[in-house]
Structure 1
């Protein structure tokens, strides 16, 4: 059975990069959100197996979004996405329950490695 993934990033380009990195035979993209508010709503509605979440977004940033998601389901699988300048926020996200992080700019293999780590499929 394919794992269900919610992708959250305010830029279309980044969402497309994340989608293209994931094998559609293993992973089903069940939603995309442009901001944290949309992400929380979709998380409630769709119960994804994994959320790939950008840190820097409008309306509700990734840390606040992560906090809301973890309040809904403390066992939620969340991978944070950020660029190097947000290192302190990545550390905060890990403390708040994120399972891993991907540093922008990333490659498809970076995405796959993080996803496999979260699902326990490491090679």
Structure 2
């Protein structure tokens, strides 16, 4: 499926119950003109936001209260299977990676996430999901 975007950045939702970590991710990604950043502090808030506004890609902390990142990912994928979701966790073991793969996560990143790895995975997720050659294409 080819997605055509005109003059709109991709909307990325950062979901983590730790405000400091959300701010760190925002600092890493905020200088990308092809991203419009949003934040949620829980899985429940992320699901509610996705139901209200267009969200193109989601970063999810694994360990949040009530809904884990994996639980949230499953709900988000049921709403839109194309939207890439990336799990971020301090304990990226084989079992979690298997569960994430089964839930169609785009990737699982280990905390602390190196700047280059985060930007590369986000870029690759957008390219893969929306069949573009470069995220800047969405702004032209």
- Matched length: 121
Match of 2:36 in 1: 28
Range with bigger deviation, 18-27 or 80-89: 80-89
Which sections of structure 2, spanning at least 5 residues, go unmatched?
1-7, 128-133, 136-140
Q: Structure 1 CA distance, aligned partners of 2:102 and 2:70?
A: 10
Unmatched 5+ residue regions in structure 1? Answer: none
* Contact 2:77-2:83 at 8 Å conserved across structures: yes
1:104 maps to 2:111: yes
Measure, in 1, the Cα distance between the counterparts of 2:110 and 2:23. Answer: 16
1:85 to partner: Cα distance: 5.1
* RMSD across aligned positions (CA): 1.7
Q: Which has the larger radius of gyration?
A: 2
Normalised TM-score (structure 1): 0.89
Q: CA deviation at 1:86?
A: 4.6
* Structure showing the higher strand proportion among its residues: 1
Specify which structure has the bigger relative contact order, considering alpha-carbon pairs within 8 angstroms and separated by 6 or more residues.
2
Match of 1:60 among 62, 67, 82: 67
Work out the CA distance in 2 between the residues paired with 1:107 and 1:43: 27
C-alpha contact 1:35 1:57 (8 A) present in aligned 2: yes
Q: Could you tell me how far apart the structure 1 residues matched to 2:18 and 2:48 are? A: 19
Query: Which stretches of structure 1, 4 residues or longer, exceed 6 Å deviation after superposition?
Result: none
